Structure formats: C-alpha cells, structure tokens
Amino acid sequence: MLGTSVKRRTLLSAVLVAIGGSRLLASKVTGDEVMYVGGTVAGIPEATEGSADIKDPKVFTFRSDKGSFEISYSSIKTLEYGQKAGRRVGVAIVITVWALFSKKRKHFLTIGYDDAAGQPQGVVLEIAKGRAKTFITVVEARSGKKVEYESEEAKKHVHG
C-alpha cells in the first residue's frame, strides 16, 4: 500500500516535469492571481491559474475555470515557503530546474493537509511576490501553523 503512494507521487513528479515544465517557465502570477502548480488534487491540471480566497475564516478556496478545491485551515499540517516547491509534503515537484532558467523569482507556498478521510494531501501554489506577506500571514493565523522557510533569503522576501 505504501509503495502505491510513493509510485503515485513519483509519477506525478514525472508528469509535471514532462508536461508542465514549459508552462511553468512561461507563466508568472501577478496581482491577485495564484497558480496551482501541482499536488494531489484530482481534476485540476498542473499549472492552472486562478484565484485564492483567504477571506473565509474556516476554509481556503482555490477557484479557476478548470475547477476548484477547498482546504479547511484546521486540516493543515505543514506550510513551507520558498523559491522552490516544499520537500516534505511528498508531492516532490522539481521546481529548482525551472527556477534556474527563470530570471524572475517565483514564490511557492506548499500546503500539507489531511483530507476528510484523514489521508495526507498536498498542494503547491505559486503566489505573486507582492501578495506573499499578506497571504502567508493569513494562512498562518487561521491554521495555527507557522510557515517554514526554504532559506533565510526566502524569509527576507516575506518579512523584508
């Protein structure tokens, strides 16, 4: 059973690298946009741009013309922020290769959470640079979890 989960994540990573890489290189979110880079949400393609609603005090909602999903703040287990996707969620998306070719910094928030059945899930979101501080502050406050930063440089981008 555990092997199936690892195989699924490995397959997800390979698909993102093979199919989504060029779209991620070309895309950059701005303003209120958010991009679902990838993760365990079924039915929404990788590199889908949309909007994130953090106004509801109980639920984070991502909406796009290709689908939507909600994450209860109380189900969030981990938060990571940096210039590459988080390493602990198990989503294992290799953003670092794409970041090497990109001249502009991208800002990723990785959210690890449990679904309604108690199964671990994860999403990687690209958020606009100007929105990172507010976005992270709200998600931290509502989830009760502190963001782990990929590096001191990533922390400086949020906290100045």
Q: What is the pLDDT of residues 123-149, one digit of tens each?
A: 999 998 788 899 999 999 999 999 999
Per-residue pLDDT tens digits for 59-72: 999 999 999 999 99
- Separation of alpha carbons 90 and 6, rounded Å: 8
Contact 87, 80 (CB under 8 A): yes
Contacts of residue 77, Cβ cutoff 8 Å, sequence gap at least 6: 112, 113, 114, 120, 145
* Residues 6+ away with beta carbon under 8 Å from 154: 81, 82, 83
Q: pLDDT tens digits, residue range 45-100?
A: 999 999 999 999 999 999 999 999 999 999 999 999 997 654 444 443 444 444 44
pTM for this prediction: 0.73
Task: Tell me how far the alpha carbon of residue 156 is from its chain's centroid.
Answer: 19
Give the chain's domains with CATH numbers. 2-159 (2.30.29.30)
Residue 26: pLDDT band (50, 70, 90) is: very low
Among residues 28, 48, 29, 27, the alpha carbon closest in space to that of 37 is found at 48
